[in-house]
A and B are shown apart, each in its own frame.
Chain A
Amino acid sequence: EPEVTQTPSHQVTQMGQEVILRCVPISNHLYFYWYRQILGQKVEFLVSFYNNEISEKSEIFDDQFSVERPDGSNFTLKIRSTKLEDSAMYFCASRRLAGAYTQYFGPGTRLTVL
């Protein structure tokens, strides 16, 4: 069964450094998402992406964040200058378009900012 994959599984970085989190959505899916989950808290929406542009973003997704689909398979989240409070689990999700609203999630990348 096709799955969403994410790399790396764990990333440790210093405050102020740039990080890129990578995702490979399910191949016939057209909508892509990033969510984050601070330890012990609920899952929060960051951004959705369709047809090579952002379709919706939350107030969390400020200028420090950007997303890109650099090729036909990868979907990336970049955090330009990480802060301590960016430490969280970041989940990528994808879904098909035509009336299929179920989002399938990847295993997550745990980001630790020191």
Chain B
Amino acid sequence: AQKVTQAQTEISVVEKEDVTLDCVYETRDTTYYLFWYKQPPSGELVFLIRRNSFDEQNEISGRYSWNFQKSTSSFNFTITASQVVDSAVYFCALSEATETSGSRLTFGEGTQLTVNP
């Protein structure tokens, strides 16, 4: 069975601080995908990034960066110089990589990030 754990329920920072959101996952699959989604106060789920289990390269996109470490089953997300608009719930998710099933997403509990001015 797959499981995603986001131990930080809520994080509050002041604008311009860096913040890291933790994600730890469990899976028996050897091939899988990891995702981060953002859910702003308006409620929609916005895709941010996908990594596959073969690619442990860290990735940077503007103020966002992701650190994937297979050895510790972690896929952490860092926002540099946070802004008020970053305030949202952030979900880490996992799916197996097979076309023979639906490849459902298993979500973590989410981390509520509040960036204060």
Contacts and interface: CB of A to CB of B under 8 A. Distances in A.
Interface of A: 31, 33, 35, 41-45, 47-50, 55-56, 58, 89, 91, 93, 95, 97, 101-108, 110
Interface of B: 33, 35, 37, 43-47, 50, 52, 91, 93, 95, 97, 99, 101-110
A45 B99 CA distance: 17
B106 A45 contact: yes
CB-based closest 3 A-B pairs: A48-B102, A56-B102, A105-B45
B43 A44 contact: no
Main secondary structure of the interface of A (DSSP, over half): strand
B104 A58 contact: yes
Most buried by A among B47, B50, B102, B110: B102
Contact of B47 (A33, A102, A106): A102
B43 A33 contact: no
Contacts of B95: 101, 103
Nearest to B106: A45
Contact of A42 (B33, B50, B107): B107
Given A42-B107, A56-B101, A102-B35, 7 more contacts: A33-B104, A35-B105, A47-B102, A105-B45, A105-B46, A106-B44, A110-B43
21 contacts: A33-B105, A42-B107, A42-B109, A43-B93, A48-B101, A50-B102, A55-B101, A56-B104, A58-B104, A91-B45, A93-B45, A101-B33, A101-B52, A101-B95, A101-B97, A101-B103, A102-B35, A103-B47, A105-B44, A105-B46, A108-B45
Nearest to B93: A43
A49 B101 CA distance: 10
Nearest to A107: B44
Contact of A43 (B45, B50, B101, B102): B45
